[in-house]
């Protein structure tokens, strides 16, 4: 079968002479079978590895040259570079490593992509026309960890009715300027996509009609999926920063820095530490308000978040995330990158971009400390 090229049955054309190979293959018996159905032994002088890369176009070389000429990247960080792109990557990642904070909650890393690789990531969404730079710095979110606020919510509520709301409002603001995080508000929106026709503010009556169409009238699961049964555990009113109508008697607001400092002075233990870190986060956000590096970036539809912060990990959260990842696994409409940041090529823009990156790291460090205190 391995040596006979005939594709017909011997019984159909029995009068055709049989085929005999010009080189007979003797039986291997107990000898080595090298060269037949196994990999042959390679001489030591044949290279056993290789490196594949895209050609560096003139625009990419100009950007790399401009980056080094500005002087922020250090030539001493480049060791035995095989190309201009390799030299730039070594210097850039060395700069990033020195400034990336050690995080207990947030999980992220970086990648450098050329124009071709960046286009391949987002062309499935029709966003490739928005990419014009030769090089991109991508924020990569390689996996996702789940943390819960749990009983710490009541600790914050006892300290001040608006402390939990303030914490989540600042977390959302900081995340919008740094790393994508799934918060209780985001989880409620995800739940609404599956069960309430994308409307997280749907009433029980509206939701019931929608759920009856989906599950069938009289299904026992309908009660379980009504907003008044889901939202108090998934995303309570005093946790959701924006967009929820509340009773005036229970209305909460974002506390100012002076109020947080005063509350910290009156509190002890965990509430005091939370207040102090919230004051620090507010200070960092105010100082970095001019720098918005994500504003000029291309969103890359990440499959994962840097972290999921849930009120209670056991109430619908597992179901929401399972449905989310199953859907992405089936459709494939996602990447492992949060955003693609175009690498600047003009001296002024380069200096601005590195300032923005440094500020983003400050926000991430302050945000991670807050998340570490309010979740477990």
Q: Are 4 and 19 in contact (CB under 8 A)?
A: yes
Task: Please check the confidence at residue 167 and state whether its pLDDT lies above 60.
Answer: yes
337 bridge partner residues: 140
From 161-175, 204-218, 353-367, the region with the lowest mean pLDDT: 204-218
Task: Please check the confidence at residue 37 and state whether its pLDDT lies above 70.
Answer: no
| pLDDT value of residue 192 | 92
The strand pair at 181-182 and 307-310 is best described as: parallel
| pLDDT value of residue 107 | 97
Strands (E), 255-336: 298-299, 307-310
342 bridge partner residues: 136
Measured CA to CA, the distance from residue 115 to residue 345 in angstroms comes to 14
* Class of residue 17 by CB neighbours under 10 A (exposed 0-12, middle 13-18, buried 19+): exposed
| pLDDT value of residue 7 | 45
Both tokens assigned to 230: 């889901």
Measured CA to CA, the distance from residue 293 to residue 352 in angstroms comes to 9
- 3-class secondary-structure state, position 40: coil
| pLDDT value of residue 130 | 87
What is the strand order of the sheet 181-182 is part of? 146-148, 307-310, 181-182
- For residues 266-288, give the mean pLDDT: 97
Task: Please check the confidence at residue 35 and state whether its pLDDT lies above 80.
Answer: no
**pLDDT bracket for residue 154 (50, 70, 90):** very high
| pLDDT value of residue 260 | 97
The strand pair at 337-342 and 181-182 is best described as: unpaired
For 204, residues 6+ apart whose C-beta sits below 8 A from its C-beta are: 226, 227, 228
Task: Please check the confidence at residue 28 and state whether its pLDDT lies above 60.
Answer: no
pLDDT in tens, 43-94: 555 554 444 444 456 778 999 999 999 999 999 999 988 999 999 999 999 9
| pLDDT value of residue 332 | 79
| pLDDT value of residue 45 | 53
| Sign of the alpha-carbon dihedral angle for 74, 76, 79, 81 | positive
Q: What is the pTM of this model?
A: 0.82
Rg (CA), the chain: 29
| pLDDT value of residue 44 | 57
**Which residue did the predictor score with more confidence, 264 or 219?**
264
114 bridge partner residues: 135
Percentage with pLDDT > 90 across the chain: 66
112 bridge partner residues: 137
- For residues 288-315, give the mean pLDDT: 93
| pLDDT value of residue 105 | 97
**pLDDT bracket for residue 2 (50, 70, 90):** very low
Measured CA to CA, the distance from residue 157 to residue 233 in angstroms comes to 15
What is the average pLDDT value for the chain, to the nearest integer? Answer: 85
């Amino acid at each position: 079968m391995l040596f006979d090229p005939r594709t017909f049955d011997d019984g159909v054309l029995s009068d055709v002479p049989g085929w005999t190979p010009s080189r007979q293959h003797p039986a291997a018996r107990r000898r080595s079978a090298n060269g037949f159905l196994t990999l042959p032994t390679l001489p030591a002088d044949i290279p056993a590895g290789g490196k594949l890369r895209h050609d560096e176009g003139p625009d990419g070389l100009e950007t790399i040259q401009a980056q080094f000429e500005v002087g922020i990247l250090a030539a001493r960080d480049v060791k035995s570079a095989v190309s201009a792109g390799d030299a730039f990557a070594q210097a850039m990642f060395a700069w990033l490593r020195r400034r990336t904070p050690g995080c207990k909650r947030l999980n992220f890393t970086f990648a450098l992509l050329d124009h071709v690789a960046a286009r391949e990531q987002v062309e499935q969404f029709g966003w490739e026309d928005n990419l014009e730079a030769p090089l991109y710095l991508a924020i990569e979110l390689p996996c996702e960890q789940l943390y819960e606020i749990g009983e710490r919510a009541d600790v914050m509520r006892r300290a001040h009715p608006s402390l939990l709301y303030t914490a989540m409002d600042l977390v959302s603001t900081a995340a919008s300027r740094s790393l994508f995080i799934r918060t209780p508000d985001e989880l409620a929106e995800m739940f609404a996509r599956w069960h309430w026709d994308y409307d997280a503010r749907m009433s029980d009556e509206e939701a019931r009609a929608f759920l009856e169409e989906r599950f069938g009238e009289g299904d026992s699961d309908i009660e379980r999926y009504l907003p008044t049964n889901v939202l108090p555990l998934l995303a309570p009113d005093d946790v959701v920063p924006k967009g929820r109508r509340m009773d005036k008697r229970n209305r909460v607001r974002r506390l100012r820095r002076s109020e947080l400092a005063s509350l910290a002075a009156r509190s002890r233990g965990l509430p005091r530490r939370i207040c102090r870190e919230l004051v620090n986060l507010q200070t960092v956000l105010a100082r970095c308000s001019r720098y918005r590096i994500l504003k000029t970036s291309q969103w890359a539809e990440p499959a994962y978040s840097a972290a999921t912060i849930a009120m209670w990990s056991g109430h619908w959260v597992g179901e929401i995330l399972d449905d989310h990842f199953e859907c992405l696994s089936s459709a494939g409409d996602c990447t492992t990158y949060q955003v693609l940041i175009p690498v600047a090529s003009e001296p002024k823009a380069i200096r601005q971009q590195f300032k923005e990156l440094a500020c983003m790291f400050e926000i991430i460090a302050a945000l991670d400390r807050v998340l570490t205190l309010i979740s477990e």
